[in-house]
């Protein structure tokens, strides 16, 4: 948390307020983030015009005129908002970028697992992203997706969490997608049929589209770039519903640890079988 839908919501909220603005200055608080902000980066971003803000996986990319970029990650509790410069900063605000219109882009992170860093060239950004992320969910090709699943003996849940396999899916949307696809989270990728692989691919897209439309899921601290909470948590079918009745078949939702994460599934709707399509 936050995952792709939450990050996409932040980016969409902030785009009208940031694109075309000039960064006048940058200031960091006394506590370091996961990637400490370097003092020399403030001079490099000062005077730069923001040309775009976009998302790749769970990363936020703020492009600057001249080829540089700010690369941000919300971590577990990060919040990124544009506020009036004269508005008092909230506690746990670790970075502030003063803009030319009397506002500031502020990064707040209670647990400090998030980060922002400056990359000087587009090639640096491409290398950074290319080394870490696989395709976006909407760019998955059925044939290559099927091959990727079949080539691994890891559980499907672990494969969905692997950002090199598909970028942006995290714990919430892995559970929800597997439920929508009627596939057990422990099923090995190598045992997945072509029909199941396509069903899962389409379930991922549908789940993410629905979550983005609902502005993501607010579980603890997440708010969008406008400060509004998400609403998709009210539409979860399995995530965080352990012990409650499945909304489809009525069986109780189970929870286990898988791939190092809490995993929620319905034993009625997601039965294990090598022969089911």
* Each residue's pLDDT expressed in tens, for the chain with a length of 277 residues: 799 999 999 999 999 999 999 999 999 999 999 999 999 999 999 999 999 999 999 999 999 999 999 999 999 999 999 999 999 999 999 999 999 999 999 999 999 999 999 999 888 888 999 999 999 999 999 999 999 999 999 999 999 999 999 999 999 999 999 999 999 999 999 999 999 999 999 999 999 999 999 999 998 889 999 999 999 999 999 999 999 999 999 999 999 999 999 999 999 999 976 544 4
- Catalytic status, residue 135: no
What is the spatial distance between Cα 97 and Cα 82, in angstroms, rounded to a whole number?
Answer: 9
Spatial distance between the Cα atoms of 98 and 22, rounded to a whole number of angstroms: 8
Q: Is 157 a residue of the active site?
A: no
Q: What is the pLDDT of residue 113?
A: 94
Catalytic one of 15, 150, 182, 261? 261
Of the listed 3, 8, 104, 176, which one is catalytic? Answer: 3
Among this protein's residues, is 58 annotated catalytic? yes
Give the separation between CA 32 and CA 107, rounded to whole angstroms: 12
CB 75 within 8 A of CB 10: no
Question: Which candidate in 56, 58, 106, 201 is catalytic?
Answer: 58
Helix ranges (H only) for 131-193 are 142-150, 156-161, 171-181
To which residue do tokens 């587009």 refer? Answer: 122
Please give the CATH number for the structural domain made up of 137-265.
1.10.8.50
Percent helix, strand and coil across the chain, each rounded to 5? 30, 25, 45
The CATH number of 4-130 is which of 3.20.190.10, 3.10.129.10, 3.40.50.150, 3.50.50.60?
Answer: 3.20.190.10
Does the annotation mark 229 as catalytic? no
> What is d(CA 242, CA 80) in angstroms, rounded to the nearest whole number?
31
Query: What is the per-residue pLDDT for 273?
Result: 60
Q: Which of 2, 5, 137, 155 is catalytic?
A: 2
Where along the chain do the CATH 1.10.8.50 domains lie?
A: 137-265
Q: Where in the chain is the domain with CATH 3.20.190.10?
A: 4-130
């Amino acid at each position: 948390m936050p995952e792709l839908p939450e990050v996409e919501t932040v980016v969409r909220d902030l785009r009208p307020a940031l694109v075309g603005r000039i960064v006048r200055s940058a200031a960091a608080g006394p506590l370091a983030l996961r990637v400490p902000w370097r003092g020399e980066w403030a001079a490099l971003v000062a005077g730069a015009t923001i040309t775009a803000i976009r998302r790749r996986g769970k990363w936020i990319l703020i492009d600057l005129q001249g080829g540089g970029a700010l690369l941000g990650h919300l971590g577990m509790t990060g919040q990124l908002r544009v506020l009036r410069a004269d508005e008092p900063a909230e506690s746990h605000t670790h970075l502030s970028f003063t803009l030319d219109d009397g506002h500031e882009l502020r990064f707040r992170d209670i647990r400090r697992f998030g980060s922002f860093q400056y990359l000087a060239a587009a090639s640096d950004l491409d290398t950074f992203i290319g080394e870490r992320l696989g395709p976006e969910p909407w760019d998955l090709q059925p044939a290559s997706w099927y091959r990727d699943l079949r080539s691994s003996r890891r559980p499907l849940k672990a494969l969905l969490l692997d950002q090199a396999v598909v970028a942006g899916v995290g714990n919430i949307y892995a559970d929800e997608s597997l439920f929508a696809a009627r596939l057990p989270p422990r099923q090995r990728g190598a045992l997945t049929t072509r029909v199941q692989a396509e069903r899962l691919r389409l379930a991922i897209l549908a789940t993410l589209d629905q979550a983005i439309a609902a502005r993501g899921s607010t579980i603890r601290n997440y708010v969008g770039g406008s400060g509004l909470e998400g609403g998709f948590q009210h539409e979860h079918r399995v995530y965080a519903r352990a012990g409650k009745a499945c909304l489809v078949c009525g069986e109780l939702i189970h929870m286990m640890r898988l791939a190092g994460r809490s995993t929620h599934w319905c034993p009625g709707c997601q039965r294990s079988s090598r022969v089911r399509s």
